[in-house]
A and B are shown apart, each in its own frame.
Chain A
Amino acid sequence: MIEVLFYVFAAVALGGALGVVWAKSPVGSLLFMVATLGSLAGIFVLLEAHFLAAIQVIVYAGAIMVLFLFVIMLLNLGHDYQRDLKGGAFALLSFVVVGLMAGVLARQVGRDSIPELAAGGQAIDAALEQHGVVGAIAQPLYTTYVVPFEITGILLLVAIVGALVLAKKGS
């Protein structure tokens, strides 16, 4: 059952990723991206990352994609239907580069088979059992990684101020 669900989600995610690259209009690309994000959230659930699946749907598909949609509407690009793929030698070159990259990745991934339930998986299952879905990720986030967490807060503040200054009229 889980295997079947995984392959369904994987097929939707790959189809959505292809759609993002090939769709003519920016809004179409965006909707394909939302499909990809949703099915990736499903795969996160199958890999026992429940909290991150919820965050993926709420923050990524909900907030960031709506931000993209706002910008597309603001700049009035919604009816921009002509193909904008780069042609000729450049497309060939990027196809070759990406193919080489895919080959390297495939070699690395397929090097040796990975045991399905390793020590890390058992530790995560125990943490889920003990602290619950949110607590399992909150425990390391607020103890081991508390300094990066605070720095992330500062980063978000800087990003807000920077976005306001950049997008302000007459700057």
Chain B
Amino acid sequence: MITEALVLSAMIFVLGTFGVLVRRNAIIMFLCIELQLNAVNLAFIAFSRLMGIDGQVFVFFVMTVAAAEAAVGLAIIISVFRHYETVNVDRFKLLRW
């Protein structure tokens, strides 16, 4: 079951990456990043069956950092929305060349 869990983790990570690259809505890109974090969590827990409990402690830290990142990222999205009236990342042109 560990191998299957690792395969599932790889699949979810790839789907999350594809979502980040392809979607334009900033909130959905953010959700896809959460998807990637969850895939990594699954890989950590699968490997903790091989290496010991440290993997589960790492998942704990990943979850807290994900919560902090969600709070700050959504605040940034809110303040960008106040400026541009949209969350479509194609419209954010200030730092583009």
Do A and B interact with each other, yes or no? yes
> Does A8 belong to the interface (CB within 8 Å)?
no
Q: Are A105 and B71 in contact (CB under 8 A)?
A: no
Across chains A and B, the number of contacting residue pairs, with CB separation under 8 Å, is 234
For A128, the closest partner residue in chain B by CB is: B53
Contacts of A2 in B (CB 8 A): 1
Closest-CB distance, A157 to chain B (whole angstroms): 9
Q: Are A74 and B60 in contact (CB under 8 A)?
A: no
Q: Are A137 and B49 in contact (CB under 8 A)?
A: no
Closest-CB distance, B5 to chain A (whole angstroms): 6
Chain B window 15-44, contacts with chain A (Cβ cutoff 8 Å), 1 for yes, 0 for no: 111110111110110111011001001100
Contacts of B24 in A (CB 8 A): 84-86
Number of interface residues of A (CB under 8 A): 87
For A157, the closest partner residue in chain B by CB is: B68
Chain B window 54-97, contacts with chain A (Cβ cutoff 8 Å), 1 for yes, 0 for no: 11110111011111111110111111011000011000000000
Q: Are A86 and B13 in contact (CB under 8 A)?
A: no
Bound complex: CA of A128 vs CA of B75, how far in Å?
A: 39
Q: Are A20 and B35 in contact (CB under 8 A)?
A: yes
Contacts of B8 in A (CB 8 A): 10, 13-14, 43
For A152, the closest partner residue in chain B by CB is: B64
Contact for B60 among A52, A86, A109, A121, CB less than 8 A = A52
For B30, the closest partner residue in chain A by CB is: A68
Interface residues of A in 131-167 (CB under 8 A from B): 136-137, 139-141, 144-145, 148, 152, 155-156, 158-160, 162-164, 166-167
Contacts of A141 in B (CB 8 A): 57, 60
Contact for A171 among B2, B28, B60, B79, CB less than 8 A = B79
Contacts of A71 in B (CB 8 A): 27, 74, 77-78
Q: Are A20 and B28 in contact (CB under 8 A)?
A: yes
Q: Are B4 and A17 in contact (CB under 8 A)?
A: no
Given A36-B38, A116-B1, A166-B75, 6 more pairs with CB closer than 8 A? A67-B70, A86-B24, A119-B50, A124-B48, A124-B53, A152-B61
